[in-house]
Chain A
């Protein structure tokens, strides 16, 4: 069926909506990355298997929907029953029969699967009431976890492509750009450039052809928001791109997806094919005369390809080395033509801005950072998962109110935001507002939205070393300050971790960082020393402990610690079995001993001990 007019789209939407309403009870099985690791695909299949055999009123296989990430990964696998919003967590395949028997047939709740807040002890039935969800406001993630990403009808039913219809029906390209500028939307990839201004520049550039690119190369370790959007709601990305194509006058677009996200590629491709079949992509979209098509370009596992000019080289089939940007890529981008490059989350915001208006969007968040931002919560935090919150919320609200605080009630040490280019903020900065400018002023950055929480058992020097090592490996090698500078900076940092550094080394590192920041070609190098600079700014005492006292307060740096077994040891042999250097001896039910000379400090014994019998000295 070709949807070649806007009225046909409206009619189709009504049909889709009616079909959805006919399904009285919906069972949403989360197939996001977290739940999938817990085997949610098997849960989904089990539902189908049982329901195919049974004949139950009002409930058919159509009631069972697989969705993208619902958000609360820490409690996965998740099963949500709508319209009641019943939230079942930590579901196992063996629970499926019981859910069908009790909840779907009799309307009874299954107590053991309900979420119980570990802090207050309150049991929650409905997901919207859970503190993790209650504080959130979803715009970019509005459909993720709510619809089946494989079914275009689901997207249409919730208002999909209505913004596109609105644009095509009565807006001029300049009006679209004006709305976007007014909304104050800033690029969600991290740099925070005004999207409206970017589009305006591209639209004005003289050229026979213009490109629209979507950056799905979510390379920051600790970030998975874009992944969840591409996997869970691919059509919204397409809709955003088509609106952009209309506004800037483009006919060709690419979505650049990193190769570590195979499911995103599959779901996006399916969405593209379906949209094309229905006439929402390709020639004469919705009979408006607009021609635009999208292709997927798969990355090759290079972090630097998230940088605009490197990404464009990679799309063109070359190696992803950035270029000096005397001329911005919006004027001279892919194949040297004017190009708009926006992040996945930015595109996901666009249909909503068009539909609800710029003023509505600008009323959310802060004055200079409007709207909401998606974050992935990970690390030593209780409620790991995917969230979206209004800009201007404090770090404390995110980490404690939504995130449930530090795992195992340990002491909060730092939160890392912005990936390798970002920084670590200490407890004293927890009341900072989360927006583009505040985070940058405080030595970190918004980045794409990864938030990794660290506790007292993490070492900040080790974290800096980890990121520097990451950047050394990912530096493309084109310019010397980044290639050689980061390499030396990493060596010096390693020297500190090894307990061999002096005060002079620290000074050298600070000096070297300044050179790298000012002389590197692209963002990777310019922000490369950030992991070091932000940790030395807030955790200098930890550096000094390594350098002067030869101690690692976090108990991480191998050269500076020793493991010892204390009197609490019950001789369970667990540590002995995992020891990688045969350093532990002892008999069953008797206290074990670690040979400090043999021990390679791998830390496995500490990780497996159930009675806290291993001390780090």
Chain B
């Protein structure tokens, strides 16, 4: 996917050029492109008149930002305490076997990304998987791969 600076600037322009808006702006970019393109760091630093290093520091501090492109389908596996004791690792292993990627990685065809999240607050339904923002509760490991692919 090629992202031109113009479309990045359009997203940035929605917020006022105030230093306090940094995280909000990065969140908007992340939401639009599913990651923070390299060009966006520079564009944000110019817009807010702060060093690129400051933008980069925020982009790497907060977990919700990704500096590498992510796949079309985001598969999140919850690894909260409840999910952990109820076998979240089994799900991760099954996804690895089916898609050939570990958490944080994206398939070569850019179709799937697996992410581990700390807790999504659906602990009562542990273990939980979220495919493109749709929740799946009480996931049995032998169904994990099917859920990931079909959503």
Contacts and interface: CB of A to CB of B under 8 A. Distances in A.
Interface in A172-222: 218-222
A447 to B, nearest CB: 11
Interface in B1-54: 18-24, 26-27
Interface string A249-284: 000000000011110000000000000000000000
Given A222-B81, A574-B142, A73 B61 contact: no
Interface stretch (A8-16, A54-62, A313-321, A491-499): A313-321
A452 B82 contact: yes
Interface in A483-535: none
Contacts of A227: 121
A471 B15 CA distance: 33
Contacts of A376: 123-124
A592 interface: no
A317 B93 contact: no
A121 B120 CA distance: 33
Interface stretch (A95-103, A300-308, A325-333): A300-308
Interface in A451-466: 452, 454, 458, 463, 466
Contact of A260 (B26, B81, B120): B120
Interface string A342-375: 0000000000000000000000000000000000
Nearest to A600: B93
Interface stretch (A30-38, A137-145, A149-157): A30-38
A314 B94 CA distance: 36
Given A37-B137, A314-B23, A580-B96, A222 B123 contact: yes
Contacts of A474: 118
B84 interface: yes
Nearest to B87: A607
Interface in B108-127: 117-126
A378 B117 contact: no
Contacts of B27: 259, 298, 300
A222 B142 contact: no
Interface string A214-254: 00001111111001000000000000000000000000000
Interface residues of A, number: 62
Contacts of A577: 142
A203 B90 CA distance: 52
A557 B53 CA distance: 41
Interface in B121-147: 121-126, 128, 133, 135-137, 140-142
Contact of B85 (A219, A259, A386, A463): A463
Contacts of B84: 221, 463, 466
Contact of A450 (B61, B81, B90, B133): B81
A317 B90 contact: no
A319 B122 contact: no
Contacts of B23: 298, 300, 314, 317
B63 A300 contact: yes
B67 interface: no
Interface string B79-97: 1111111110110011011
Given A298-B27, A602-B90, A607-B140, A261 B62 contact: no
A74 B117 CA distance: 22
Nearest to A581: B97
B124 A34 contact: yes
A300 B61 contact: yes
B64 A300 contact: yes
A15 to B, nearest CB: 35
B84 to A, nearest CB: 5
A110 B132 CA distance: 35
Given A37-B128, A37-B137, A38-B137, A458 B61 contact: no
A205 B57 CA distance: 33
Counting chain B CB atoms within 10 Å of each CB, the highest count among A260, A298, A602 belongs to A260
Contact of B58 (A38, A221, A319, A377): A319
A538 interface: no
A141 to B, nearest CB: 14
A302 B62 CA distance: 6
Contact of A221 (B19, B81, B135, B142): B81
B123 to A, nearest CB: 4
Given A73-B125, A260-B121, A319-B57, A466 B62 contact: no
B118 A602 contact: no
B93 A452 contact: no
B124 A221 contact: no
Contacts of A404: none
A259 B79 CA distance: 16
A73 B20 CA distance: 39
A332 B24 CA distance: 24
Contacts of A36: 122, 135
B81 to A, nearest CB: 4
B140 A608 contact: yes
A380 interface: yes
A476 interface: yes
Contact of A301 (B64, B133, B137): B64
Given A221-B80, A317-B21, A602-B90, A37 B123 contact: no
Listed from nearest, the 8 A-B pairs whose CB atoms lie closest are A300-B62, A73-B124, A221-B80, A37-B137, A301-B63, A378-B82, A378-B123, A221-B119
Given A300-B62, A384-B82, A580-B94, 13 more contacts: A34-B125, A37-B137, A221-B80, A221-B81, A222-B119, A224-B121, A260-B117, A301-B62, A319-B62, A378-B124, A474-B118, A580-B97, A607-B140
24 contacts: A34-B137, A37-B128, A37-B135, A74-B124, A76-B124, A220-B119, A221-B80, A221-B82, A221-B119, A224-B122, A260-B118, A262-B133, A301-B62, A301-B63, A319-B57, A379-B82, A450-B123, A470-B118, A476-B61, A602-B89, A602-B93, A604-B94, A607-B90, A607-B142
